[in-house]
């Protein structure tokens, strides 16, 4: 699969299809006959470049099935297009929803493909008017287009950011509303959001926070040069090291253990 996994570093990984879903997911096929926790999100939840992503680590802590349906490059629209996964998430005890990338989401200025959210499907006449000197046909990926737009006219680019943020809040609220179980929102955020160029803001997360039972924010100190991953300018999530996955899993396990009343039994308190 073209998931950009560094095979030379972590070896082959298990992949499987789930039910009628057309997507391929990572890991051994989970047993959903017993209570389980569902995880949905992008490349970070999927676990690119690591042998053990944080959903697998949480499973070990909780001793409970954790179904990882994270998908590289996915935005909120990806899961809204998959009723099989939405139903499975709704049947979970808790669904952990990653704060996904606004870049990988269709909006009024550009559209992405339903199954490959980082692939550019088309642009609107409004976006062409904002950037008359840009040849949009040159771009296959949203990230490449956005880098060009930001360098072309930073003032006009603010309109793109505003549209991305508006669309993200709207679609995230729709997604969270469609998942009919207890929900935890996970934000993997840069330590300094302003300097990192992070599109997601505290206000955006707060705007969807009433849709979930818990919001867990893990502030990550990305290495120099890796901070662009937070705003979608990079295609991978190399800043999500093994250590970061371990940190995320510990914080999530603590909160999930409390939500599931498992903390005392598992010694997580």
Domain ranges of the chain: 7-266
Judged against a pLDDT cut of 90, whether residue 236 lies above it is answered with no
Q: What pLDDT is stored for residue 266 in this prediction?
A: 52
Q: What pLDDT is stored for residue 128 in this prediction?
A: 98
Which residues, including other chains, have CB under 8 Å from residue 218's CB and lie 6 or more apart?
186, 187, 188, 189, 247, 248, 251
Cα 92 to Cα 26, 48, 260, distances in angstroms: 18, 24, 12
What are the tens digits of pLDDT across the range 21-45? 778 898 889 999 999 999 999 999 9
Q: What pLDDT is stored for residue 187 in this prediction?
A: 96
Q: What pLDDT is stored for residue 35 in this prediction?
A: 96
Distance CA(108)–CA(110), nearest Å, equals: 6
Q: What pLDDT is stored for residue 152 in this prediction?
A: 95
pTM of the model: 0.90
For 7-266, give the CATH class.
alpha beta
SS3 per residue for 44-77: HHHCCCCCCCHHHHHHHHHCCEEEECCCCCCCHH
Distance CA(110)–CA(157), nearest Å, equals: 13
Q: Which residues of 32-50 are buried (b: 16+ CB within 10 A; e: fewer)?
A: eeeebbbbbbbbbbbbbbb
What are the tens digits of pLDDT across the range 164-202? 999 999 999 999 999 999 999 999 988 876 666 789 999
Question: For residues 102 and 139, is the Cβ–Cβ distance under 8 A?
Answer: no
What are the tens digits of pLDDT across the range 101-144? 999 999 999 999 998 899 999 999 999 999 999 999 999 999 99
Q: What pLDDT is stored for residue 145 in this prediction?
A: 97
């Amino acid at each position: 699969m073209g998931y950009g996994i560094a095979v030379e570093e972590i070896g082959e990984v298990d992949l499987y299809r789930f039910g009628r879903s057309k997507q391929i997911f990572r890991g051994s096929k989970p047993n959903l006959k017993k209570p389980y926790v569902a995880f949905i999100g992008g490349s970070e939840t999927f676990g690119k470049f690591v042998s053990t992503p944080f959903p697998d680590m949480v499973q070990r802590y909780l001793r409970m099935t954790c179904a990882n349906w994270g998908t590289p490059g996915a935005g909120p629209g990806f899961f809204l297009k998959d009723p099989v996964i939405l139903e499975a998430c709704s049947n979970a005890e808790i669904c952990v929803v990653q704060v996904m990338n606004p870049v990988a989401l269709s909006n009024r200025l550009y559209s992405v493909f339903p199954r490959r959210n980082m692939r550019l499907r088309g642009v609107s006449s409004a976006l062409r008017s904002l950037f008359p000197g840009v040849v949009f046909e040159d771009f296959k990926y949203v990230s490449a287009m956005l880098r060009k737009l930001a360098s072309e006219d930073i003032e006009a680019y603010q309109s793109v950011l505003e549209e991305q943020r508006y669309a993200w809040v709207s679609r995230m609220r729709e997604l969270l509303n469609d998942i009919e179980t207890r929900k935890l929102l996970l934000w993997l955020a840069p330590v300094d959001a302003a300097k990192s160029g992070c599109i997601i803001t505290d206000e955006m997360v707060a705007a969807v926070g009433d849709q979930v039972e818990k919001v867990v924010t893990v502030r990550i100190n990305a290495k120099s040069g890796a901070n662009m991953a937070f705003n979608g300018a990079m295609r991978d999530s190399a800043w999500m090291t093994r250590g970061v996955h371990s940190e995320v899993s510990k914080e999530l396990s603590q909160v999930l253990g409390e939500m599931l009343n498992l903390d005392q039994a598992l010694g997580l308190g």
